[in-house]
């Protein structure tokens, strides 16, 4: 049949507008990715040292060293995963492609818990450092906790409005932070450790200073809080130019920098203080304790205010980075239909994911609330962080192994070496060791730490209930496997 339709004068042709998938702009290079990751890792030394000393005592340097080995395994796993799947989402993205949507959500929800605790614990340790200028910040639990909650509320407000930190600020802060930390290590080595090396041995191995086997393992778990920047760097893959090359480079740079500085600071701290002092008076501001213990008054007077200002600034950036990271993760879960779209809803005026920012800031405030009356709140926050982060790391290692087995054809611009061959597939030894060790330590925390066990289980149960009802409402299968990336 002939079509009689013809275009007449004055008629307009309707051309439907193409719908473009939202993508983050790829503008970041290696320095920006490294500085963002080190902004988290570098800041964690300002509180992780004290948390670890609470249980590891004289074995604190040993525990941080063992955790550093696990950190290498995990960083290498993230390097391969991010180069292969350069999307925002980190371990959640790896698990989604390596297993299914349910695994992706579980990893992402566990990661959210670790982000929330990062926000809380970073804010909680700012007042003790500022106590150099006003003692009640350090001495009063009520004033210190109230100030921490005020910091979270302040950052929540500016993140909703849309004030952003820039990569230039991150890079500058990272350079100043590394310079200060290296200077402190060098000064401590020459003024404390070299003149009296026996004091380090005494503080580590004197009667009552070496921990029990249980506390040694718990210390390794708590030391994982010192390595919080891996996920941040992976989350930034979708905003990085040539992420398959630059994110692995930034991760390897961070491995070298972190291990050297953390080893130096932990050795100097136990040379400057007894484990008892590190775990009590200086638990929330251990780096300030090193500065206060230096033998030369002039250096002390210069370093104490400098560290107070620097630690407060770096920890403020880390708290803000936690808020930015959790909103980015919530957006990623929403985009892939792993969480209700409300979590990724953007404010009509400020163009920020305001619901997730406000919701998770409130949860961070609830985590801080025991600080008003509980003596062991600092340790509890550390074990709760370990619960979430180790679970996310377990999924990351398992996902890389699964992808090696199920999808060996995927391009891997960065591929781990030292592989075991199994049924024609190459399985990286570092990922196998990382999975076994993180799973073992996570199970020990689950058994021995009632606070993190029950809060963590409740958090995961609530998330899985939300996931179940959301997916049923959207008529989506619970265990959908995504197509080839």
- Return the pLDDT at 144: 93
Extract the tokens encoding 7.
């275009």
* Cα distance between residue 388 and residue 55, in whole Å: 19
* Cα distance between residue 359 and residue 284, in whole Å: 27
| Residue that has been written with the tokens 């005020």 in this structure | 150
Within a domain: residue 13?
no
- Return the pLDDT at 485: 61
Contacts of 187 (CB under 8 A, 6+ apart): 294, 299, 303
* HSE-CB of 212 using CA atoms within 13 angstroms: 2
> Of the candidates 484, 75, 27, 29, which has an alpha carbon nearest to the alpha carbon of residue 245?
29
Find out whether 345 and 353 touch, Cβ atoms under 8 Å. Answer: yes
Within a domain: residue 428?
yes
> Of the candidates 136, 150, 274, 305, which has an alpha carbon nearest to the alpha carbon of residue 201?
274
* Cα distance between residue 323 and residue 140, in whole Å: 26
Can you give the CATH number for the domain in which 173 is found?
1.20.1740.10
Within a domain: residue 485?
no
Within a domain: residue 432?
yes
Within a domain: residue 361?
yes
Domain span holding position 72: 33-473
Left if phi > 0, otherwise alpha if psi is -120 to 50, otherwise beta: which for 185?
A: alpha
Phi, psi of 359 (to 5 degrees): -60, -50
| Residue that has been written with the tokens 């450092």 in this structure | 129
* Cα distance between residue 246 and residue 86, in whole Å: 11
- Return the pLDDT at 98: 92
**Tally of structural domains, the chain:** 1
Q: Describe the crossing of helices 101-124 and 91-98 by its angle, rounded to 10 degrees.
A: 170
Contacts of 216 (CB under 8 A, 6+ apart): 56, 59, 63
Within a domain: residue 483?
no
* Cα distance between residue 354 and residue 366, in whole Å: 19
> Of the candidates 225, 187, 301, which has an alpha carbon nearest to the alpha carbon of residue 46?
225
Within a domain: residue 17?
no
Instruction: Give strand pairing partners of 427.
Output: 420
Phi, psi of 422 (to 5 degrees): -140, 115
- Return the pLDDT at 251: 78
For residue 12, the 8-state DSSP code is -
3-state secondary structure of 311: helix
CA distances from 346 to 160, 221, 328, 334, 357 (A): 10, 36, 12, 11, 10
- Return the pLDDT at 395: 95
> Of the candidates 148, 181, 189, which has an alpha carbon nearest to the alpha carbon of residue 286?
181
Compute mean pLDDT per 10 residues along the chain, 485 residues long, and list them: 49 41 53 68 82 91 89 88 81 91 94 91 93 92 95 89 59 77 90 90 91 88 76 67 74 80 89 90 89 87 89 85 80 85 80 85 94 85 91 94 91 86 88 94 91 95 94 88 65
* Cα distance between residue 402 and residue 157, in whole Å: 41
- Return the pLDDT at 321: 78
* HSE-CB of 153 using CA atoms within 13 angstroms: 9
């Amino acid at each position: 049949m002939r079509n009689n339709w013809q275009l007449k004068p004055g008629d307009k042709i309707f051309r439907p507008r193409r719908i473009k998938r939202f993508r983050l702009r790829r503008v970041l290079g290696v320095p920006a990715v490294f500085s963002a990751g080190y902004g988290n890792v570098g800041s964690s030394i300002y509180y992780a040292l004290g948390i670890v000393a609470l249980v590891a005592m004289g074995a604190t340097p040993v525990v941080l060293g063992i955790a550093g080995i696990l950190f290498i395994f995990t960083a290498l796993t993230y390097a391969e995963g991010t180069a292969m799947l350069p999307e925002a989402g980190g371990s959640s993205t790896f698990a989604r492609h390596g297993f299914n949507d349910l695994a992706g959500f579980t990893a992402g929800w566990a990661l959210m818990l670790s982000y929330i605790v990062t926000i809380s614990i970073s804010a909680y340790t700012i007042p003790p450092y500022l106590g150099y200028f006003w003692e009640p910040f350090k001495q009063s639990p009520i004033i210190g906790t109230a100030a921490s909650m005020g910091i979270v509320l302040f950052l929540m407000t500016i993140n909703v409005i849309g004030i952003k930190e820039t990569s230039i600020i991150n890079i500058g802060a990272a350079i100043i932070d590394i310079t200060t930390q290296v200077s402190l290590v060098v000064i401590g080595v020459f003024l404390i450790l070299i003149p009296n090396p026996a004091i380090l041995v005494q503080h580590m191995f004197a009667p009552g200073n070496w921990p029990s086997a249980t506390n040694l393992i718990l210390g390794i778990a708590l030391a994982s809080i010192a390595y919080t920047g891996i996920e941040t760097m992976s989350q930034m893959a979708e905003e990085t130019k040539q992420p398959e090359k630059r994110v692995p480079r930034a991760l390897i740079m961070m491995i070298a920098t972190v291990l050297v500085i953390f080893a130096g600071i932990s050795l100097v701290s136990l040379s400057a203080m007894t484990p008892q002092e590190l775990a009590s008076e200086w638990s929330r501001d251990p780096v300030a304790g090193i500065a206060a213990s230096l033998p030369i008054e002039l250096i002390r007077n210069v370093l104490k205010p400098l560290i107070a200002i620097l630690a407060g600034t770096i920890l403020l950036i880390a708290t803000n980075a936690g808020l930015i990271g959790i909103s980015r993760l919530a957006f990623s879960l929403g985009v892939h239909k792993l969480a209700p779209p409300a979590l990724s809803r953007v404010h009509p005026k400020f163009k920020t994911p305001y619901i997730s920012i406000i919701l998770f800031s409130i949860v961070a405030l609830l985590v801080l609330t025991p600080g008003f009356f509980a003596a062991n709140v600092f340790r509890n926050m550390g074990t709760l962080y370990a619960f979430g982060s180790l679970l996310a790391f377990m999924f990351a290692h398992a996902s890389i192994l699964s992808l090696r087995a199920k999808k060996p054809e995927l391009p891997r611009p960065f591929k781990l070496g030292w592989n075991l061959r199994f049924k024609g597939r190459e399985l990286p030894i570092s990922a196998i060791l990382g999975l076994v060790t993180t799973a073992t330590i996570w199970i020990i925390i689950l058994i021995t730490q009632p606070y993190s066990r029950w809060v963590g289980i409740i958090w995961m149960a609530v998330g899985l209930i939300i996931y179940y009802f959301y997916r049923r409402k959207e008529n989506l299968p619970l265990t959908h496997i995504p197509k080839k990336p």
